[in-house]
Structure 1
């Protein structure tokens, strides 16, 4: 059984934060709360906390159509998704044929299974797991690493079937993060909630994400947490003076940490990042582990 429980690849390796966030929840009597990830992506933190029994419910919000549909298929179209994985050839011809699905902007405009599989396919066959990138090995497959080198079908199917057992404790939403939080915040006031914001990187967001943030978008997030006092929250960010400036003066706590991840050069590196929260933050003692396989 693989050590990771997540079928997606993402830069940042946020799985390394799971022990730390587990401790943060426990220290603040938030074990058993509803855990909200407004920028779901790989949802690695919430899914592991749910499997460990540290939270009672996981609310995922994802704006990218392909990733949203992937998670919907994992939990509500499990067998169809697994069969699609088994039956599809993982090669450049398939990549080219599926490329137009990256232009779909509304999940209601196409078959959810096709979109969901496309989210997994591009994540696992593209360079560094970036949906907008080119395939591993390039179109000509001239590299020693080929397009299917990170698409281990038996492992992916096993992970998806394992995760599907959590479907009764997972809610999946297609929405903008702040828009969703503004609409749902009244409901969250009535229950114990913890929100983990993992927004697009400030420095390299445009290179990594299809829905990246401008400086003004990062400011909107800071203003949102500044104005809402009814839930506890944690934000993980790349370390930048602009970001620190956004959260100064609101009583936020800061804690620097280092993540081990694959950067755009293809080489593994340790990147300095920040944890920002309205809760007291204990020192970070992360065991550097790879989330890739």
Structure 2
């Protein structure tokens, strides 16, 4: 039941707004390093690249394909070298904060609805070359 967790009308409106931008959005189902090698030379000036790599701390428990520490380090180095605006979201842990040291960041909380429990997790978003409008619920 979609409307049990989401406001159906609001969700439909959001999907329609995203759909109206479909000519300006490209999605890739590629490993981050492969995507970076493939796209970096071809990116238009007005590009935003969003990376959502597997979690660092619990990646092996949550994903079939997860990264080791050296994979996360290689991705961080490559992402931080991009000239186009980028953002990356991760689980909020000291290892990831160290890899993205120097990048702008925002921390935020999410509630997950897995089974009956509703655990709250803290995530972190790193970014560069972006203008962020402050919201009261986001902490830098």
Structure with greater helix share of residues: 1
Q: Tell me: higher relative CO, structure 1 or 2? Use CA pairs within 8 A at least 6 residues apart.
A: 1
TM-score, normalised on structure 2?
0.76
Among 48, 66, 87, the alignment partner of 1:194 is: 48
Instruction: Report the equivalent of 1:181.
Output: 36
Structure 1: runs of 5 or more not aligned: 6-17, 19-46, 63-174, 287-293
2:78 aligned with 1:224? yes
2:122 aligned with 1:269? no
Instruction: Report the equivalent of 1:242.
Output: 95
Find the aligned partners of 1:49 and 1:257 in 2 and give their Cα distance: 24
Could you say which structure has the larger radius of gyration? 1
3-state DSSP of counterpart to 1:60? coil
Instruction: State the aligned residue count.
Output: 128
Q: Which runs of 4+ in 1 moved over 6 A?
A: none
Deviation at 1:210, TM superposition (A): 1.1
Alignment CA distance shift 1:49-1:198 (3 Å): farther
CA RMSD across the alignment: 2.6
Alignment CA distance shift 1:212-1:256 (3 Å): same
3-state DSSP of counterpart to 2:89? strand
TM-score, normalised on structure 1?
0.39
Find the aligned partners of 1:246 and 1:282 in 2 and give their Cα distance: 24
Instruction: Report the equivalent of 2:28.
Output: 61
